[in-house]
Amino acid sequence: RDVAPSRGLGDVYKRQILACACFFALHIITIERFSVLVDGVRMSLLQFAVCGILSLPAIFFYETPSWEALDQAWLPILYAGIMSCGIAYTLQILGQKYVNVILASIILSMESVFSVFAGWLLLGEQLSLREIGGCVLVFAAILLAQMPPKQQ
């Protein structure tokens, strides 16, 4: 009798990474399609509102919200809500309107580097050597991808 191999935590991570990459690509394609048709700021506000409304059930399902917890976490909430969702996505929508979608996806890959750096700088996160190495690797890959091809 054949026994199926057990799925480890690595398989779960691989599936999550694949799903995130697919949603990232879908997000860029959606912005590419609609940024030329509608006002970018209005599109960003609508995206912010929809994400907030869709996140509300998860708050009550996975957490027990309290005013005390909100008071203790005001800085990360403000950073994630205003800086990441509000400002960053609005600038992405406005900037991607005039940039080639392939170039935009390469530039937007820098988001991971900037988010780690901002977490270290603004929130006092401690970075491991592996995390620093990952940021350097992503940064170098993005720079290499933007270099013009070598003339022969």
pTM over 0.85: no
Identity at 11, one-letter amino acid code: D
* pLDDT of amino acid 6: 55
**How does pLDDT run across 56-97, given as a tens digit for each residue?**
888 888 888 888 988 888 888 888 777 777 787 788 888 888
Q: What is the DSSP string of the chain?
A: ---PPPP-HHHHHHHHHHHHHHHHHHHHHHHHHHTTTS-HHHHHHHHHHHHHHHHHHHHHHH----HHHHHHTHHHHHIIIIIIIIIIHHHHHHHHTTS-HHHHHHHHTTHHHHHHHHHHHHH-PPPPHHHHHHHHHHHHHHHHHHSPPPP-
What is residue 96's predicted lDDT score, i.e. its pLDDT? 82
The 10s digit of each residue's pLDDT in 122-138 is: 888 888 888 888 888 88
